[in-house]
Amino acid sequence: MRQVIIIGSGPAGYTAAIYAARANLKPLVIASSVEAGGELMNTTDVENFPGFPEGVQGPELMTKMQEQAERFGTEVVYDDVTHVDLDGPVKSVTLGSGEKHEALAVIFATGSAYRKLGLDDEERLSGRGVSWCATCDGFFFKEKVIAVVGGGDSAMEEATFLTRFASKVYVIHRKDTLRASKIMQDRAFANEKIEFIWNAEVAGITGEEAVEGLLLRDTVSGEETALEIGGLFVAIGNDPRTHLVHGKLDLTSDGTIAVDGRSSKTSLAGVFAAGDVIDPHYRQAVTAAASGTVAALDAEHYLASLPQDLLASASDSELATVTN
Ligand code: NDP
């Protein structure tokens, strides 16, 4: 049995791991089979993480965080968690492989998932011109006219990045003002390849084998128009990834895992949460990292309060896997 298992490998998960490992808790990080490293793996320049005056590439930052966590004894498993049992003092975490790990404390740092428009055509044409990740797929849109939906920082970042490949990028936003930060807005406004379409929502995506166009609906007049494009990037935010804990942990009205005040303590003893999965507002790499610190410290204090015999059963943590 482990002392602590951390589910998630973004800035919150790895920072929790760095702190837990330095506290000699020998954490196990479950890093996901396909999305290890979290959202920053899909980002290019990160210019606002302190300590990198020239900026740093998202994947490089995550690799460094992982290395730092491993340096102090963190173990990383690349698999998805399929089930958790959180009641009682011993928690269990089951992976896609069927492996089951037990621990006295669990930290959820599961982040958030791309929000979808909710159109049938979006699913049908996913990977055929509809994408949620410019850094992953931008290269496939060389010299094409494409569109980005959204008015936040993600949409501005994606649109600006996509001008490296596309001949033209429309930004489609349902309002006439952006939610994005001023610096990101200004960068997009200054880019000659970007054209804004205001007060418009995507009502349909056309194309049989691949995206060929959009049906846009004016959010003021209701008028519908067609727009010819060769690709659509959906950048309308994220939803916290809480599917593992539905019915098990209290959630907030925003859909995030509820925590006690500024702590990471969830509604169950020994279960902690950090990063985007508890934060509907700030959702920055640096706030997620800070939140991971809080979770590791809370877990450490919790473990210190447990009976010695229980702690002793978790001390041999390397031999901790129970296989189904
Ligand atoms: P946001 O929630 O900030 O913005 C989402 C945008 O999508 C809003 O403009 C919203 O419109 C629009 N939207 C939401 N749902 C729909 C829908 N169904 N149809 C059409 N439009 C929709 O998400 P982001 O991902 O942009 O940013 C999340 C956080 O990450 C923010 O805190 C941001 O600052 C941060 N971030 C920072 C970056 C950086 O600093 N480099 C880069 C990327 C993100 P409306 O405005 O009408 O609500």
What is the 3 state secondary structure string of 31-97?
A: CCCCCCCHHHHHCCEECCCCCCCCCEEHHHHHHHHHHHHHHCCCEEECCCEEEEECCCCCEEEEECC
Query: What number does the ligand 1 atom closest to the CA of 155 have?
Result: 26
The per-residue pLDDT string of the chain (324 residues; one tens digit each, 9 = 90 and over) reads 999 999 999 999 999 999 999 999 999 999 987 778 888 887 777 888 999 999 999 999 999 999 999 999 999 999 999 999 999 999 999 999 999 999 999 999 999 988 999 999 998 998 899 999 888 789 999 999 999 999 999 999 999 999 999 999 999 999 999 999 999 999 999 999 999 999 999 999 999 999 999 999 999 999 999 999 999 999 999 899 999 999 999 999 999 999 999 999 999 999 999 999 999 888 889 999 999 999 999 999 999 999 999 888 886 544 444 444
Q: Which residue has the tokens 């979006």?
A: 122
What gap in Å lies between CA 239 and CA 254, rounded to an integer?
Answer: 9
Q: Which of 79, 80, 133, 218 is catalytic?
A: 133
What's the 180 CA to ligand 1 centre distance in angstroms? 7
Whether residue 239 has its Cβ less than 6 Å from ligand 1: no
User: Roughly what angle, to the nearest 10 degrees, separates helices 285-304 and 11-22?
Assistant: 40
How many other C-beta atoms are found inside a 10 Å radius of the C-beta of residue 104?
22
Whether residue 58 has its Cβ less than 6 Å from ligand 1: no
Whether residue 144 has its Cβ less than 6 Å from ligand 1: no
Question: ∠ at Cα 271 (268, 277), nearest 5°?
Answer: 105
Q: Which of 136, 176, 186, 316 is catalytic?
A: 136
What's the 218 CA to ligand 1 centre distance in angstroms? 20
pTM of the model as a whole: 0.79
The 10s digit of each residue's pLDDT in 278-313 is 998 888 899 999 999 999 999 999 999 999 998 888
Pocket test for ligand 1, best of 174, 186, 197 (most atoms within 8 A of CB): 174
Whether residue 237 has its Cβ less than 6 Å from ligand 1: yes
Whether residue 201 has its Cβ less than 6 Å from ligand 1: yes
Any catalytic annotation for residue 218? no
Residues 6+ apart with CB under 8 A from 54: none
Q: Which residue has the tokens 């691949």?
A: 210
Strands 56-57 and 75-77: unpaired
